[in-house]
Amino acid sequence: MTGTDSDEVTAQRSNAFKDLNVFRNQVAPRARQIVGSWPVLVAVAGALLTTLGIVALPVRHTPIAEIAAMGFTYASISLAACVSGLVLSLALPGDNRLRKWSNMTGSVEAKSVLSDLLFTFFWAACAQLAVLLVCFGAVLFGGTLRIGEPAPLPVSHVAALIFSFTVVVYSLAQLFVVLQTLVQVGVLVIMEEQAASAEHKVGTK
């Protein structure tokens, strides 16, 4: 191994250790992508529409604690789905392909395709954790209050609804991203396997 190769390996290891600081070296470099992504836009629009329409829906009579209980159930299941998706995305490609992806440049400077893949599932799981926190806050501060009453709703109630629905809709969008990513990983594996098979057939002729 030459001095240049040794320096390159050392630099790669240094970058890998820096990535262990998740929020500084994983979240922060992707902050602009996160804020400008379609799940954020869908979450804000969905939260505004739901908040505006909730006073006209039958659910307005439901105590906040009951809605939060459904949120707890959803977030627990979706969090498990994100973790399972992460495991599948690492197990499906195989060691050689993961090694290849770890050396391919990702969507962010100094980040690999594999880093992008791992971050997708990590961020989706964080969104589900945020739903759990929102539900806990709803039970703590909302309790037996009805979600859409009294009319007109106090400003603080409206603000809490908008924030809560934004988090919930965003988590749903992130769950869709997880499913989409799993499909993309599967398609990519199939494409690479077909390409390798075609090259093998050409080589044996």
Q: Tell whether the model's pLDDT for residue 10 goes beyond 60.
A: no
pLDDT at 23: 79
**pLDDT band (50, 70, 90) for residue 180:** very high
The residue ranking higher by pLDDT, 10 or 45, is: 45
- Give the contacts of 21 (CB within 8 A, at least 6 positions apart): none
Give the residue from 43, 27, 23 showing the smallest Cα distance to 167: 43
Kindly tell me if the per-residue pLDDT of 6 is higher than 60: no
Distance CA 115, CA 98 (A): 10
pTM attached to this predicted model = 0.85
Instruction: Determine if the peptide bond prior to 150 is cis (ω within 30°).
Output: yes
pLDDT of 1 > 80? The answer is no
Give me the pLDDT at residue 17, please.
60
**CA dihedral over 48, 51, 55, 58, signed as positive or negative:** positive
Least confident span in 30-44, 55-69, 92-106, 150-164: 92-106
| pLDDT digit string, tens, across residues 15-49 | 556 667 787 878 888 989 999 999 999 999 999 99
Nearest alpha-carbon partner for 165 in 39, 37, 42, 51: 51
Distance CA 66, CA 139 (A): 9
Q: What is the average pLDDT score of the chain?
A: 85
According to the model, what pLDDT value does residue 165 have? 95
For the stretch 112-140, pLDDT in tens is: 888 888 899 999 999 999 999 999 999 99
| DSSP H or E run through 33 | helix 31-35
